[in-house]
Each structure stands twice: as structure tokens, then as C-alpha cells.
Structure 1
């Protein structure tokens, strides 16, 4: 991630936009510090167990609502029964600014009120299979932020996990937004690129990914089987 060559904003698909280097160094450090606090509790970061017994290779902590396959709840019954940490206003403001910049529209963030964040930590061997983010009762855009090691991010179609899809590199500070026709596209992380992050962020190794979402919930859990995020 030398930054020798500029990486332009890219519309990967209608409604899906990659903005390289969107987060500055101070914002990245702030996110790392905040994530360390959230990872400690009240519901600690954990590897999620799937219904068929498998365990995800990423470690996850949630804000606002707790995600477990395949629903949201206010308390983490699969971890320690505690209520998850609140979703902070400053993170919502960051997300609204992300939408404005990604879509290059001053009104893009109007009315967008995220109420949950899934924070995934990828070590060098972690992966995320192709999936849709559809446990929410809202079609509002998802804002995704990367800090730390870069990854290969695979963004596909809305019909299945197969081609056509696009592989791109998400590096530390990068923003990816997907909404509109691409809101329910399959996507995943086939590999991490170890050693590509900047230790100045406060993250010596690994990748942090924060996805900010609108659940559309009013304290009623969703039980529709769907994807992970």
C-alpha cells in the first residue's frame, strides 16, 4: 500500500462504489481504538458458530443489535446474554458522510440512520464466503470501512454466488458502499494480504472491517435465513 499510484473512485456495479483512501490516518486510529473497546464487551468479540456446527474464521463484535445466524437481537444469547454496546452517534455521522462522498450527492445521507454495526476482525488466515446481507428489514445502503491489512474483496451478482463477480483490493482507509440495485449482491473475502497494513493505525496485523447498516427493526428480531456481512 505504497500510494505511489493513485487509485480512483470506482463504481463496481450500479449502487456499489469503492472510494480508496477515504479514511484519513486520524480516523483510522480512532476506529482501531474504538474497536478495541467494543471487542472487550459488554459482549466480547467472538467467532460465530453456525447452525450446522461450523465456526466462522473471522471474529465479530456488534453494536446496536447483535447478529447471530440468521437474526438480530438486542442481547447476545449465544455469547453471554448481555445487551450489546450502543451504536454511537459519531459513527452514524461518519457513515452519512461516507454515503455523500461515495455517491457524490449531498443528499445521499439524508434520512439514513444506521442502528447496527458488524465489526469483523480477520487474521491472516480468515476468510468470508460469498453471501448476501439480507437479515435486515431495510434496503438502505451498507457502508463498509477497512482498516489494517488489505484484502481481496469479491463483489458478485444478486442471483447466486457464482460469476459474474469482480475482485478488487480493499486497503486500509478504503470505503465501499453498496445500495440500490446492488444492495443484495453476493460478496465475500477470499483472502487477506498480510503485512500490507500500516502499524501507525494502531493495528499491528490483521484487518478490521466495519459494516454500518439500517436494520429496519423495532426490537422485533428477524428470523429470515440469510447472509452474514
Structure 2
């Protein structure tokens, strides 16, 4: 009941909340008014840790990525893991901007997850036809904390499956300013993103930006 009450509070502020699982919710337009501030902060983050495509054991990811926060998610031929240092620069990842952290905490609280304290923000940049295959976010030691995912720019279709890769998948359109939060019983559900369609966004052109906040350590 507490979760539904909190989502009701978000609706009372003029925002739309869409429940997509027992402990998963999309807050429509949550960040629409913050886009300019986020993009200003993004420029500073990218000066320290630029976009790059990360390799995997089976090839290269179709999205460009970076990180900020005390920990950063990295991928190479050896697998996936978190690192305290950017392998591209050898330096610590840039600090997580205060506005980003604040909005991530607010979104988590609105979905019923109090005291969320993110340590990592993975940045993904999608161009037309970029996608993300079905996967679980399980490289984190702390899976009790939720995932907070923010979308800017081009719309994308988010795939939300079950706890097994073969479970049925539901599709949800994520648009500019939307925030998706999932945790608790939904935390380890398989998820992904369908290929982004060719289009142009008024603010970001032919790209979709996704910021994903995680708690890495217990």
C-alpha cells in the first residue's frame, strides 16, 4: 500500500505514473523540465570520460557508453564488472552531478524505495538502429536497491520480461523525460531496448540518452 500511496503523490504533482510490475513503475515526464540542466552536466561528465563503444566476448555493443559516480560499469573480452577507474583515461570516473543524484533519489522514493543512494550512473547513447539485448542487471553486489533509468531524446521501446530469459516480454514506450524504476521482486527481471527508429528530436537530434543509476556495494 505504501508504494501505491507514493505513486499517488506523484500523480498529485501533475505527473503520470504507470505501474508495470509489482515494484516497477514508469513516471511519465518526470524530468521534462530538467533536460537543459542534465545536458549541461552531461557535457562536463563527457569532458572527463568521453563516449566509447565497449567490447564484449561476442563483439561490440551498438550503444556508446560512459559512467559517473564512484563506480563505473565496464565491459571487455573478459566479461562485465564495475571499476573505480575509467579504463580509457586511467582516472577515477567523474563525480555524479548533484542534480542527477537528487532526481534519482526522488524517483526511487516515489516508487516506494526509500534511502536510495546510487554509487554508479551508466550513460548510454543510442543512435538510430542501436539496441540493447535482453539481460539482467546482476553485476551489482546490492540487488536490494532499485534501478533508476532516465530517458532523454528519441523514444525507444523498452522490453520488460520475467526472471527467465524465455519468459514473455512486455513492451513499453519510453519518451523524453520519462523515468523508469524497478526493484524488489522485479529487480532481476530480464529487460532490453528494441532498435531505436530513425528520427530527429528537437533537443537532441538523432539520439537517445539513457542514464541508469545503481547501488553497487551493500
TM-score between both structures, scaled by the size of structure 1: 0.81
| Cα distance in 2 for residues equivalent to 1:114 and 1:153 | 22
Answering whether residue 87 of structure 2 is matched by residue 83 of structure 1, we say no
**Residue correspondence of structure 1 range 1-229 to structure 2 within 5 A:** 8-25=16-33, 27-41=34-48, 43-52=49-58, 54-64=59-69, 65-69=71-75, 70-77=80-87, 79-101=88-110, 103=111, 105=112, 108-109=113-114, 111-139=115-143, 140-160=145-165, 162-195=166-199, 197-199=201-203, 203-216=204-217
Alpha-carbon distance in structure 1 between the residues aligned to 2:63 and 2:126: 5
Pairwise CA distance, 1:215: 0.5
Give runs of ≥4 in structure 1 deviating > 4 Å: none
Structure ranking higher in helix proportion: 2
Q: CA RMSD in A?
A: 1.9
Q: Secondary structure, in 3 states, of the residue corresponding to 1:184?
A: coil
Contact 2:133/2:193, CA 8 A, preserved across alignment: yes
Give the Å deviation of 1:213.
Answer: 0.8
Q: What is the CA–CA distance in structure 2 between the aligned matches of 1:173 and 1:24, rounded to whole Å?
A: 4
Give the number of aligned pairs.
Answer: 199
**SS class of match (2:177):** coil
Q: Which ranges in structure 1 are unaligned for 5 or more consecutive residues?
A: 1-5, 218-229
- Helix, strand or coil at the partner of 2:150: strand
Matched residues in 2 for 1:147 and 1:61: separation? 16
- Could you tell me how far 1:8 is from its partner in structure 2? 4.5
User: Does structure 2 retain, via aligned residues, the 8 Å contact 1:16–1:182?
Assistant: yes
Contact 2:124 2:209 in 1 (8 A): yes
TM-score, length basis structure 2: 0.85
Matched-pair contact (CA < 8 Å) for 1:150–1:196: no
Say which structure is richer in strand: 2
